[in-house]
């Protein structure tokens, strides 16, 4: 393996051969329990039953390390939103940002949404999560992650983070997980190393400072910002934070120690190749791949002083009910209650709304937490998750709603064994026992305790048959039902 792009870091690395060996090994996978619908012991049990050997991460509750070669993003339990797959080092920024239920969080560079969903789940889906992303093509996967995990407290913005107007508001916590050269990701994406062989290190640092400055501008006095990259380059890391501190009013910002018990890390650099960053930068965190058998990462935690003056105070946010077209939820809650036994009380904090499709009003409904607060501007691209298809004789829950709320169902659950489950997933008809279902209508397909999607039952040739309605995009992800 040609490690010449990393030669410049040799003086920073305590054990070069251990570093080189780590880069040559495949990266262990990490998953965390979606505690909106399963507790960590429940996930551990499920993974064990599916033949996946999972060991708890010592430093992050609810997360598990899997052996290299596991394919956790390809299982039915993944599609059903029981867990999320995320690189171990990528868990660090939210662990240090530490958002609490009911708070507000702005994620400036959000796609594909790993940290957005991690934060929203940690916040118990209560409060406000605003996920901004500049690249339109990356927003689809962000939306799918929010829907798959059943996150109803988030909205998506499509804007350049560096140029967000003050109307976006102020937040308790802001994440600046900025685009970078991705040097630390070569174990996961070997092609990154080939690109690095052709480019100049730290070449992207200009835009990163502008995004970090915006993060500081949009956090409330007393609030916290996390700046992170998956790069080793001091130009993208300490130099950016040092430039921020240098340009800030004295006493308005301070670095908090970025350390995590159970995770080995190195302090940030106070100087590099003749440039001085200052002693404060030692409070930042560097994670080298060979220390914890991970990728590489950099994180700095910055607190804005409670006395800092807001030069560009935001405007008060809007209530979600001012922005979306609220509809009477009763017909839809009745379907969930009467057909599936999903209690209405589950939706007390939610609002059901009609989704706009261009200028036409579509028959699709969304669901969102009523206490989500939205920016004055820019207008959100999406809020909440898809809930129902309403423009039809029998309103139909969306697949996202089926997996998000289906684990509260008590009736009309179709338990599928390993043989029949793929027929359901691919929409092939299955004969079912009349005694198990209350006649024709919608059913929820369940496999090993996980609701995997909606289906419909009808009579055909004197028998009851069911057909799954799992979206093709979901079905095509699955290649494993476990042994």
Ligand X SMILES: C[S@@+](CC[C@H](N)C(=O)[O-])C[C@H]1O[C@@H](n2cnc3c(N)ncnc32)[C@H](O)[C@@H]1O
C-beta of 99: minimal distance to ligand X in Å? 14
**Interface mask toward ligand X for 271-300; x: CB under 6 A:** ------------------------------
C-alpha 317, offset from chain centre: 23
What would the two tokens of residue 281 be?
A: 């930068």
Output the CA torsion sign for 394, 325, 168, 105.
Answer: negative
Say which residues have a Cβ less than 8 Å from residue 140's Cβ, sequence separation at least 6: none
C-beta of 317: minimal distance to ligand X in Å? 20
Backbone angles phi, psi at 105, to 5 degrees: -135, 135
User: Which position among 109, 182, 230, 457 bears the catalytic label?
Assistant: 230
The reply to whether 161 sits near ligand X by the rule CB under 6 A is: yes
The reply to whether 13 sits near ligand X by the rule CB under 6 A is: no
Output the CA torsion sign for 31, 33, 36, 38.
Answer: positive
Cβ(312)–Cβ(283) below 8 Å: no
C-beta of 133: minimal distance to ligand X in Å? 5
The reply to whether 95 sits near ligand X by the rule CB under 6 A is: no
Calculated CA dihedral for residues 398, 402, 408, 414, nearest 10 degrees: 130
The reply to whether 318 sits near ligand X by the rule CB under 6 A is: no
What would the two tokens of residue 364 be?
A: 């699709």
**Interface mask toward ligand X for 204-233; x: CB under 6 A:** ---x---x----------------------
Stretch that binds ligand X, among 2-10, 131-139, 289-297, 428-436 (CB under 6 A): 131-139
| Residue numbers 169-188 binding ligand X by CB under 6 A | 177, 179
Output Rg (C-alpha) for the chain, integer angstroms: 24
Q: Which of 29, 90, 122, 152 binds ligand X (CB under 6 A)?
A: 90
What would the two tokens of residue 403 be?
A: 């997996």
C-beta of 33: minimal distance to ligand X in Å? 18
Name the residue with the smallest CB distance to ligand X. 109
The reply to whether 162 sits near ligand X by the rule CB under 6 A is: yes
DSSP bridge partners of 238: none
Q: Which of 28, 113, 314, 406 binds ligand X (CB under 6 A)?
A: 113
Q: Which of 111, 255, 402, 452 binds ligand X (CB under 6 A)?
A: 111
Examine the residue annotation and report whether 180 is marked as an active-site residue of this protein: no
What would the two tokens of residue 411 be?
A: 């009736």
What would the two tokens of residue 266 be?
A: 């190195």
The reply to whether 114 sits near ligand X by the rule CB under 6 A is: yes
What would the two tokens of residue 128 be?
A: 């406000």
Output the CA torsion sign for 375, 381, 384, 388.
Answer: positive
Stretch that binds ligand X, among 33-41, 126-134, 187-195, 378-386 (CB under 6 A): 126-134
- Please identify every residue annotated as catalytic: 230
Residues that bind ligand X (CB under 6 A): 90, 108-115, 132-135, 138, 160-162, 177, 179, 207, 211
């Amino acid at each position: 393996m040609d490690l010449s792009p990393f030669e410049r870091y040799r003086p920073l690395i305590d054990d070069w051969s251990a570093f080189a060996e780590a880069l040559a090994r495949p990266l262990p996978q990490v998953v965390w329990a979606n505690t909106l619908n399963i507790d960590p012991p429940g996930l551990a049990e499920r993974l064990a039953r599916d033949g996946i050997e999972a060991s708890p991460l010592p430093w992050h509750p609810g997360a598990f390390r899997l052996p290299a070669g596991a394919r956790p993003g390809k299982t039915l339990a993944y599609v059903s939103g029981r867990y999320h797959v995320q690189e171990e080092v990528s868990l660090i920024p939210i662990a240090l940002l530490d958002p609490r239920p009911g708070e507000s969080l702005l994620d400036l560079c959000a796609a594909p949404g790993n940290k957005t969903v991690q934060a929203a789940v940690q916040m118990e889906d209560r409060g406000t999560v605003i996920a901004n992303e500049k690249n339109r093509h990356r927003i689809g996967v962000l939306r799918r992650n929010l829907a798959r995990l059943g996150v109803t407290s988030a909205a998506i913005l499509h804007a350049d983070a560096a140029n967000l107007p003050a109307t976006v508001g102020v937040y308790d916590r802001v994440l600046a997980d900025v685009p970078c050269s991705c040097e630390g990701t070569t174990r996961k994406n070997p092609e990154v190393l080939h690109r690095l062989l052709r480019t100049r290190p730290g070449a992207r640092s200009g835009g990163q400072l502008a995004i970090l400055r915006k993060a500081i501008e949009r956090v409330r006095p007393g609030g916290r910002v996390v700046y992170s990259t998956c790069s080793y380059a001091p130009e993208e890391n300490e130099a950016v934070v040092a430039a921020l501190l240098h340009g800030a009013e004295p006493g308005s910002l301070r670095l908090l120690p970025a350390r995590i018990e159970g995770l080995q890390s190195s302090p940030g650099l106070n100087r590099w190749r003749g440039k001085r960053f200052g002693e404060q930068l030692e409070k930042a965190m560097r994670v080298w791949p060979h220390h914890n058998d991970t990728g590489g990462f950099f994180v700095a935690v910055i607190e804005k002083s409670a006395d800092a003056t807001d030069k560009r105070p935001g405007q008060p946010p809007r209530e979600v009910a001012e922005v979306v077209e609220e509809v009477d939820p009763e017909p839809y809650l009745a379907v969930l209650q009467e057909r599936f036994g999903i209690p209405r009380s589950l939706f007390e904090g939610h609002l059901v709304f009609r989704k706009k499709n261009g200028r036409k009003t579509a028959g699709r409904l969304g669901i969102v937490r009523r206490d989500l607060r939205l920016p004055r501007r820019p207008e959100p691209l999406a809020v909440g998750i898809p809930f129902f298809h309403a423009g039809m004789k029998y309103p139909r829950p969306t697949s996202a709603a089926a997996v998000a709320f289906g684990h509260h169902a008590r009736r009309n659950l179709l338990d599928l064994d390993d043989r029949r489950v793929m027929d359901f997933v691919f929409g092939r008809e299955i004969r079912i026992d009349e005694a198990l279902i209350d006649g024709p209508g919608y059913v929820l397909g369940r496999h090993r305790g996980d609701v995997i999607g909606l289906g419909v039952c009808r009579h055909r040739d004197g028998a009851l048959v069911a057909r799954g309605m799992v979206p093709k995009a979901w079905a095509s992800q699955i290649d494993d039902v476990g042994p």
